[in-house]
């Protein structure tokens, strides 16, 4: 089936040709299109971008910001076929059981969906990403022939994250999409139409020449990014006035990111041992990273949020990273030019090649180990997405964001930093020199936290319409044929990269739609 450029090619829409219309050809949209067509559902996939990111399309991501700056709000989001998968690393790590629980010490926590209900779909999501089905702990330890570092398991949970061999979903599934899915690109959703009761009856799609068409909608899935999903429903509520598209007062509230921070240096006399235990490992052409997160028991006892730490091995000048030369040599057979390398790189090349070829881990000689963290953000109503008075070229109000982090995140940062320091030093891996500002009394703590392009929340999943925007089947409350498959539906965000959990939700939705 064709990829149709709506800017240049007339689209003769046949209302009887499609069962499901998916808006957004990012990670979730591509998975849904593939899985639904595999089950004989006819799909139209609509994408605002084209095959690469560019200024004309990225400018549609511009936002107004009044809170802490989200640096990834514009260029972190990709309006292109493949969405942000054209730029991400492909990291896979599921949420844990505690992340789905109602926690009395975490405001607005608790998913209406149990971990056990999503667990089998995590396996399917990994399969879709061409990631192995090993668990994230013992299976990988055995594969890598590693031992645990001896951390106190009541405090820190030692585990791995996996990486997709090919993170770009467009590259992975372009052939399948061409054969099985109609993809309409350069096509911007500018209006949802409803019947005044509980049905979406159509969509207005506009190209970049301001030409429009209305498409009949049997079932609609909004599979856009976290910010755009909020903006779409907020604009629909504004367009509908007092009609049936009045969503819960929760719409736009509890926007979340994963606040990240570098907390200190790891000083060691045994860099090989440190990196063998904590740097990235590669086995069977697959990459595994080591992370250690707060144990559920520690979270409960100390009333902490979730969070994870890892050790980043970096050079002051990343342009002169000898590991990149080793990687090119071993994976691509590229000849290393010894003449242009500094003398100290020769030893680095030898050690790096040996670590990869013989021991299957990345060794970065004379790098500087940094202790870094990715934290859960407490979902609060004062962290939100609304609409700006400024409009885009299609006449739609831009998103207005107010990102706010509570002190609970900082308290968790300080505790996790101290615990990581204790356990790393207890294991004899080195000394951890925490920065002076890693202190609960630090008045400017929020300035040290940064975003990481993990936009979540605002259209939270809920048990009742009054408590959120979508139900446990991702159906938008008040509509029988409108679904929202986005990280925006997350009630809480854990510390894990959100894409795998989004893909698991998409697998579950595809299964439900194909069996009803």
Q: Report the pLDDT value the prediction gives residue 377, as an integer from 0 to 100.
A: 98
Radius of gyration of the chain (CA): 24
Instruction: Annotate 216-256 with DSSP letters as a single string.
Output: E-SSEEE---HHHHHHHHHHHHHHHTTSTT---TTTTEEEE
Q: Report the pLDDT value the prediction gives residue 198, as an integer from 0 to 100.
A: 87
Mean pLDDT of 477-482: 94
Residue 56 reports pLDDT greater than 80: yes
Of 230, 276, 259, 204, the residue nearest 427 (C-alpha): 276
Nearest 5 degrees, angle CA 69-CA 75-CA 80?
A: 145
**Contact by Cβ (8 Å): 363, 279:** yes
Q: Report the pLDDT value the prediction gives residue 287, as an integer from 0 to 100.
A: 95
CATH number of the domain residue 212 falls in: 3.50.50.60
Neighbour order of strands in the sheet with 253-256: 64-65, 397-402, 384-391, 253-256, 456-458
Q: Which domain holds residue 197?
A: 1-8+17-58+80-90+166-223
Could you tell me if residue 286 is inside a domain? no
Could you tell me if residue 230 is inside a domain? no
pLDDT in tens, 80-97: 999 999 999 999 999 999
Tell me the whole-structure pTM to 2 decimals. Answer: 0.94
Confidence of residue 322 (pLDDT cuts 50, 70, 90): low
**Contact by Cβ (8 Å): 131, 139:** no
Q: Report the pLDDT value the prediction gives residue 214, as an integer from 0 to 100.
A: 93
% of residues, the chain, pLDDT over 90? 83
pLDDT in tens, 429-477: 999 999 999 999 999 999 999 999 999 999 999 999 999 999 999 999 9
pLDDT in tens, 411-432: 999 999 999 999 999 999 999 9
Confidence of residue 346 (pLDDT cuts 50, 70, 90): low
Q: What total of structural domains would you count in the chain?
A: 1
Element (H, E) at 331: helix 322-332
Residue 345 reports pLDDT greater than 80: no
Could you tell me if residue 229 is inside a domain? no
pLDDT in tens, 95-142: 999 999 999 999 999 999 999 999 999 999 999 999 999 999 999 999
Of 255, 194, 183, the residue nearest 223 (C-alpha): 183
The number of CA neighbours under 13 Å toward the Cβ of 438 is 22
pLDDT in tens, 249-306: 999 999 999 999 999 999 999 999 999 999 999 999 899 999 999 999 999 999 999 9
Could you tell me if residue 313 is inside a domain? no
Q: Report the pLDDT value the prediction gives residue 316, as an integer from 0 to 100.
A: 79
d(CA 402, CA 422): 36
Could you tell me if residue 513 is inside a domain? no
Q: Name every residue whose Cβ is closer than 8 Å to that of residue 324 and which is 6 or more positions away in sequence.
A: none
Q: What are phi and psi of 263, to 5 degrees?
A: -110, -10
Confidence of residue 71 (pLDDT cuts 50, 70, 90): very high
Q: Report the pLDDT value the prediction gives residue 159, as an integer from 0 to 100.
A: 97
Q: Name every residue whose Cβ is closer than 8 Å to that of residue 393 and which is 6 or more positions away in sequence.
A: 59, 60
Instruction: Report the relative pairing of strands 20-23 and 220-222 from DSSP bridges.
Output: parallel
- Between 208 and 366, the higher pLDDT residue: 208
Residue 328 reports pLDDT greater than 70: no
Instruction: Compute the mean pLDDT over every residue in the chain, rounded to the nearest whole number.
Output: 92
pLDDT in tens, 387-396: 999 999 999 9
Mean pLDDT of 25-36: 98
Could you tell me if residue 31 is inside a domain? yes
% of residues, the chain, pLDDT over 70? 91
Residue 241 reports pLDDT greater than 70: no
Could you tell me if residue 484 is inside a domain? no
**Contact by Cβ (8 Å): 470, 461:** yes
Residue 62, classed as helix, strand or coil, is: coil
């Amino acid at each position: 089936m064709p990829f149709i450029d709506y800017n240049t090619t007339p689209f003769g829409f046949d209302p009887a040709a499609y069962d499901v219309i998916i808006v957004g050809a990012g990670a979730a949209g591509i998975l849904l299109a593939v899985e639904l067509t595999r089950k004989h559902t006819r799909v139209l996939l609509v994408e605002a971008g084209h095959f690469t990111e560019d200024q004309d399309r990225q400018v549609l991501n511009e936002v107004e910001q009044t809170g802490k700056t989200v640096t990834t709000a514009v260029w972190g989001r990709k309006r292109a076929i493949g969405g942000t998968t054209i730029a991400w690393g492909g990291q896979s790590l599921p949420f844990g059981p505690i992340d789905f629980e109602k926690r009395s010490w975490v405001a607005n926590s608790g998913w209406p969906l149990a971990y056990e209900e999503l667990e089998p779909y995590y396996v399917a999501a990994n399969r879709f990403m061409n990631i192995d089905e090993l668990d994230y702990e013992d299976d990988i330890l055995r594969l890598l022939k590693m031992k645990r570092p001896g951390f106190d398991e009541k405090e820190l949970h030692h585990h791995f994250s996996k990486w997709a061999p090919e993170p770009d979903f467009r590259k992975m599934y372009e052939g399948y999409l061409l054969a099985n899915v109609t993809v309409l690109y350069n096509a911007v959703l500018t209006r949802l139409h409803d019947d005044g009761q509980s049905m979406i009856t159509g969509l207005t799609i506009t190209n970049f020449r301001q030409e429009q068409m209305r498409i009949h909608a049997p079932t609609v899935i909004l599979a856009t990014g976290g910010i755009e999903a909020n903006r779409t429903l907020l604009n629909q509520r504004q367009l509908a006035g007092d009609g049936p598209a009045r969503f819960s007062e929760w719409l736009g509230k509890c926007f979340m990111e994963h606040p990240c921070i570098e907390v200190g240096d790891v000083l060691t006399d045994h860099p090989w041992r440190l990196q063998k235990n904590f740097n990235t490992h590669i086995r069977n052409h697959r990459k595994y990273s080591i992370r250690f997160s707060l144990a559920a028991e520690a979270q409960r006892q100390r009333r902490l949020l979730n969070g994870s730490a890892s050790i980043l091995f970096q050079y002051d000048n990343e342009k002169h990273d000898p590991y990149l030369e080793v990687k090119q040599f071993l994976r691509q057979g590229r000849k290393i030019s010894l003449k242009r390398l500094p003398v100290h790189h020769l030893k680095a090349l030898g050690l790096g090649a040996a670590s990869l070829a013989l021991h299957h881990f990345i060794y970065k000689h004379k790098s500087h180990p940094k202790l870094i963290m990715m934290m859960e953000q407490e979902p609060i109503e004062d962290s939100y997405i609304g609409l700006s008075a400024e409009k885009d070229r299609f006449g739609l109000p831009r998103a207005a964001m107010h990102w706010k982090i509570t002190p609970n995140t900082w308290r968790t940062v300080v505790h996790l930093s101290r615990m990581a320091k204790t356990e790393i030093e207890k294991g004899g891996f080195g000394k951890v020199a925490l920065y002076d500002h890693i202190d609960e009394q630090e008045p400017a703590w929020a300035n040290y936290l940064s975003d990481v392009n993990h936009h979540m929340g605002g259209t939270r999943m809920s048990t009742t319409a009054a408590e959120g925007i979508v139900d446990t089947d991702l159906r938008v409350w008040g509509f029988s044929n409108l679904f929202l498959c986005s990280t925006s539906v997350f009630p809480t965000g854990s510390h894990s990269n959100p894409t795998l959990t989004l893909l698991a939700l998409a697998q579950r939705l595809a299964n439900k739609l194909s069996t009803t």
